[in-house]
Amino acid sequence: MQRRDFFKKLGVVAAATAVAPAMSYAADAKKKPQGPNAFSYKQAVDVVTGGKPVKTSSKIQMKVPEIAENGAVVPVTVTVDSPMTDADYVKAIHVFAAKNGNARCVDVNLTPANGKAMFATRIKLGQTQEVVALVELSDGTFLTAAQRVKVTIGGCG
């Protein structure tokens, strides 16, 4: 009898351990954490450009590590080749993280008084994804550049 009980219990425990992680995973997927400002990348780009065409440009230099060991702090530097005069300057630099819950990171509005179109900050990345810089020039054209970052440990959540 004792032996039989032991095997019964063993079976129950095994079944429970097999099912429990699957259940908790399903529950997690159901209420996937959505931050207060969940915003997709596509939406974010649409809001900024208003449907205008966006051109990939080599004028933008992005300095982002290819492999980020810690997703909580990823340094990003965006430099735009521009004379920054009253007639021709960079109006805004937008930084997006394509797969973050909230894809928007920062919108920077520059003026000719900056002298040089550059912006650097540190962002959080939840997973391996592309970091995108969208640049608006004073004549209304949009330029973009992107770089893929491999994230070893996610930094959102």
Residue ranges binding another protein (CB under 8 A): 33, 35-37, 72-74, 77, 97, 100-111, 113-124, 155-157
Q: Which is nearer to another protein, 119 or 142 (CB)?
A: 119
Q: Which is nearer to another protein, 11 or 35 (CB)?
A: 35
Q: C-beta of 77: minimal distance to another protein in Å?
A: 8
Residue 41 has φ and ψ, to the nearest 5°, of: -65, -40
Q: Alpha-carbon distance 94 to 44, whole Å?
A: 10
Q: C-beta of 95: minimal distance to another protein in Å?
A: 9
- CA distances (Å), 63 to each of 71, 108, 113, in order? 16, 17, 23
Q: C-beta of 12: minimal distance to another protein in Å?
A: 27
Q: C-beta of 102: minimal distance to another protein in Å?
A: 6
- Amino acid occupying residue 78: V
Farthest-apart Cα atoms in the chain, separation = 92
Residue partners of 17: CB distance under 8 A and separation at least 6: none
Q: Which is nearer to another protein, 33 or 50 (CB)?
A: 33
Q: Alpha-carbon distance 119 to 63, whole Å?
A: 10
Residue 46 has φ and ψ, to the nearest 5°, of: -60, -40
Q: Which is nearer to another protein, 54 or 98 (CB)?
A: 98
Q: C-beta of 99: minimal distance to another protein in Å?
A: 11
Contact 74, 120 (CB under 8 A): no
- Amino acid occupying residue 84: M
Q: Which is nearer to another protein, 19 or 120 (CB)?
A: 120
